[in-house]
Amino acid sequence: MQTNEKFGVNSLADSRNRVEALLEQMTLAEKVGQMTQVEKDSITPEQVSEYAIGSILSGGGGNPDPNNAETWAAMVRQYAEAALQSRLGIPIIYGVDAVHGHNNVRGAVIFPHNVGLGASRDADLVERIAYITAKAIAATGIYWDFAPAVSVPQDIRWGRSYEGYSEDTDLVIELSQAYIRGLHKQQDNGKWVLPSVKHFVGDGATSWNSTKPPAWLPGGNWQAATDNWKIDQGDAEIDEATLNDYLRPYKVAVDNGALNIMVSFSSLNGHKMHANKALITDKLKDEWGFQGFVVSDWMAIDQLDVDFYNCVVIAINAGLDMIMVPYDFKRFVGTLTDAVQKGDIPQARIDDAVRRILGVKFALGLFEDSLGNESQLAEIGSEANREVAREAVRKSAVLLKNEGQALPLAKDLDSLIISGAAQDIGAQCGGWSISWQGERGNITEGSTILEGIKAHLTNPDSVIFSEKADFESGSRAAVGVVVLSEDPYAEGQGDQGELYLSETDIALLKKTREHCDTLIAILLSGRPLVITDQLDLMDAFVAAWWPGTEGAALADNLFGTHPFTGKLAYTWYRSMDQLPLGHLKASGEDPLWEFGYGLS
């Protein structure tokens, strides 16, 4: 039986008596409240204390207005203080998707997405990033990070591929455990942050066209969005050996003291994971001895059955301890209470769930102090944080082609043209950045690739930048840099059947080519794209992934002050026929670039 003694001040074992003493005083309503997680826009602080709600979350882009670190701290504090006003004063735990830094907060540093960190192969760097992220969220009162994703994406058409470190399970384990260590690291107020290891299990192994949004779900945002859903939340048809492989990151996390697991929207061989008692209860809790609590994904239980009553019964009996409702909490509270009173959910199951939730809250030290460590607010977006992000940007870039020593660039270049997304922080950040989906443009503070290049040049005025490559006709520079980019996306919105450069980018590439002798192409994207037919147009090609706010650091690679060290954590396909990974492996063909490839 694991405890978290090695990283925290309070161990689960120490709190056992306190949990039992508290549990004895709790009414059914208070227990149900603890099992309920609500999105902050769907509940007031007063309701948190009235219903003794256990957890609040901010969904992607769940920001206060205006959006900055101080307003975040004030927003979260209102809920934390309200919870202390409830009859028993049980603290809430607030959760957020800080998946590449405290990425919803304007002004915070946004690190490269995991697809880039996978290429860095640098566990120490990932641990430092996680610690910075943990301190940033704790400064705003948040002690629960819905990360790391330990997905092992097998089909990069999946819109969440970039949230996974790699297509290789061992690399996922190495880097996700480093991330967990960083969150677990004790901060100066003695606190640490709870990781949510997600999405249990097989989220990266679903098949294309297997997503079937249930027809009974009400319209609105979710339904409209799911038109594009083709593989996200789909079905993983896999054998036992493959499943066991995807279970490994969870097992190691549990052994290392991780105390929260988020269940996947997806299905396993036709059965929804949120109903999978065999894996959630029998395997995770009973066989592995997991002592923490299991949380559902966003409205995921609603997909289990046309009747919400059945949804609740199935999910809680399968072993879910807390439900991310996230909107209509009164309906959930009412239904769960009803199901317990009717005997469809045993009282013992409720007590088990609440014990787990309270145990984690005690272990986190929330009963001593559930407010934010606001003395760390000033560090959010600090120069020291940005320096770590710059290191991450340089280490995640992968140099895939470099003909005629096109790179490194010379400092004294006197004619350089630049086109494309060289001046676009939003395109650098990708999804889960300020908003859920992310977007192009000046979404937050940071530095651009264009700024980085100019800073290296002896004569920065020699640069001509045109986003659309509208350079003077007949003009010709020694060197051109074109920044190609995917539009940002998150979750199933990014499911994409054809992974090519956009028509706009192909045109941009050709136009820039006409105006320079040597062309360097940089791709900002959440995954490899098929670029086989465009490769001849480029002398050098760099995959920069979604590097985040510190894009200027990429120029340190281009000018050779920091050599390229990144190695592909995902196979780079030659053609769409080669996808997904299993297909390529079975064919025995060569991809364009193998897993692990990268020039220095």
Q: Which of 108, 89, 87 is nearest to 99 (CA)?
A: 108
Q: Rounded to the nearest whole angstrom, what is the least distance from the CB of residue 72 to ligand BGC in the complex?
A: 15
Residue closer to ligand BGC (CB basis): 59 or 566: 59
200 binds ligand BGC, rule: CB under 6 A: no
Q: Smallest gap, in angstroms, from Cβ of residue 491 to ligand BGC?
A: 6
For residue 326, cis peptide bond before it (omega within 30 degrees of 0): yes
234 binds ligand BGC (CB under 6 A): no
Both tokens assigned to 338:
């009803």
Question: Is 290 or 298 the residue whose CB approaches ligand BGC more closely?
Answer: 298
Exposure class string for 382-421: b at 16+ Cβ within 10 A, else e: eeebbebbbbbbbbbbbbbbbeeebbbbeeebebbbbbbb
| Closest approach of ligand BGC to the CB of residue 361, in Å | 19
Residue 60 engages ligand BGC in binding (rule: CB under 6 A) = yes
What is the spatial distance between Cα 100 and Cα 117, in angstroms, rounded to a whole number? 10
Residue 61 in the binding site for ligand BGC (CB under 6 A): yes
Distance between CA atoms of 183 and 574, rounded to whole angstroms? 38
DSSP 8-class letter at 575: S
Please report whether residue 222 would count as binding ligand BGC according to CB under 6 A: yes
Using the rule CB under 6 A, which residue among 79, 94, 146, 229 binds ligand BGC? 146
Stretch of 56-64, 167-175, 180-188, 270-278 lying at the interface with ligand BGC (CB under 6 A):
56-64
The residues facing 463 across adjacent strands are 416
Q: Does 179 bind ligand BGC (CB under 6 A)?
A: no
Give dist(CA 122, CA 99) in Å, integer.
Answer: 17
For 5, the token pair is 């003694």
| Stretch touching ligand BGC by CB under 6 A, among 55-63, 117-125, 275-283, 396-404 | 55-63
Number of residues that bind ligand BGC (CB under 6 A): 12
Query: Which one of the listed residues 321, 491, 495, 550 is annotated catalytic?
Result: 491
Q: Can 297 be counted among the known catalytic residues?
A: yes
> Rounded distance, CA 550 to CA 445, Å?
9
Q: Environment class of residue 149 by beta-carbon count within 10 Å: exposed (0-12), middle (13-18) or buried (19+)? A: buried
Which neighbouring-strand residues pair with 37? 55, 324
Q: Which of residues 426-485 bind ligand BGC (CB under 6 A)?
A: 436
Q: Cβ 222 to ligand BGC, closest distance in Å?
A: 6
* 229 binds ligand BGC, rule: CB under 6 A: no
User: Among all residues, whose Cβ is closest to ligand BGC?
Assistant: 59
Q: Do the beta carbons of residue 554 and residue 546 sit within 8 Å?
A: no
Count CB-CB contacts under 10 A for residue 441: 10
Stretch that binds ligand BGC, among 54-62, 410-418, 526-534, 588-596 (CB under 6 A): 54-62
Does 111 participate in binding ligand BGC (rule CB under 6 A)? no
Told to check if 298 binds ligand BGC by CB under 6 A, we report yes
The residues that touch ligand BGC, with contacts defined as CB under 6 A, are 59-61, 97, 146, 198, 221-222, 297-298, 436, 491
Residues annotated as catalytic are 297, 491
